[in-house]
Structure 1
Amino acid sequence: MQFVQSYIDWRERSPWEIWTTPDGEPAIELDISGRLPGCPVENKAYLDRIFWDPVFKKHHIVDLKSGKRPPKSPDQFGTYRALVKVRYGIDVDSGVPFMNRKGTLGKPYDLADYTPEAVGQIFDEAWNEVQEYARTGSWPAPTGDCFSATCSPPARP
């Protein structure tokens, strides 16, 4: 109940408005699944919210976080941005976690570098690695973040 109330309190203070898709759907728990350029497989994704800031005329993806820690990187938001661009043609300016325990927004992430092409290339590389290891019968778990070099499994001997 505390998390719900903290979100309500923030919404009442915020000038941001829920963005509405061109289809008339409010951007709440929005299915943005789709294919990114250069990647042959569909990415399944549902984002919590897209807001429109009428003061600064910008779109923001907001992800509701119930944990104590904010996201370590903007990659989740960047993936959402790329999929939103492909599906709706809009540029989302930032990704912002809503930290439920604090009842406020966390650090905003600039998403300009997360183009559909750049994110599609990352997912294509990951897909190719999955296919390679599926063929060889060996798939070590990734050791890190797939938006960095540490995602790649160790080289085979």
Structure 2
Amino acid sequence: SSSGESSEEDDSSSDSDNSSDGMPSYTTMVTNTKGGNMLTLRTFTNTLDDFDEKQSLTARRRWWEKFLNMTIQAGWTEQMKIYEFKTKMSPAARNWMGQVSDSEKYYTMKQYKDETALAFLYRLNLAAERADVKFRKSERRREQHIKRFIKNLTDMSLRKK
């Protein structure tokens, strides 16, 4: 019966944690080899002010460095970084980012640090299709597309011929 009580206690504590359903988790529970639990707290973004594009260049750089430091300490994925970055931007900046053309997104696309070459290729192919780059039908465009893919790979060993 005592094991039932401990599971009820676990359930009640987990209910309070579910208040942020659909939001990214800021804590990680890990059980170590000796059976003990360790709780890793993630850095909260509310400790960083919203980005103010009207500040001096020095202040904006300092804000960016703080944001990058937070992402590293928190161990965020690229998707999480983008999500949190968007929440710190002004509505005007978010609207501007949404206005970048599909072709500009394609021609400036780079591989993420934690992205595999195959995942980057799929993302680049999708961006090409959205930008109406007909790389599947034209041999010249396909060659340019492959060169763009190779040029933007972060893994140098894959870039060698």
Give the TM-score taking structure 2 as reference length: 0.25
Work out which of the two has the higher radius of gyration on C-alpha atoms and give 1 or 2.
2
Higher relative contact order (CA 8 A, sep 6+): 1
TM-score normalised by the chain length of structure 1: 0.25
Pick the structure with more helix per residue.
2
User: Which structure shows the higher strand fraction?
Assistant: 1
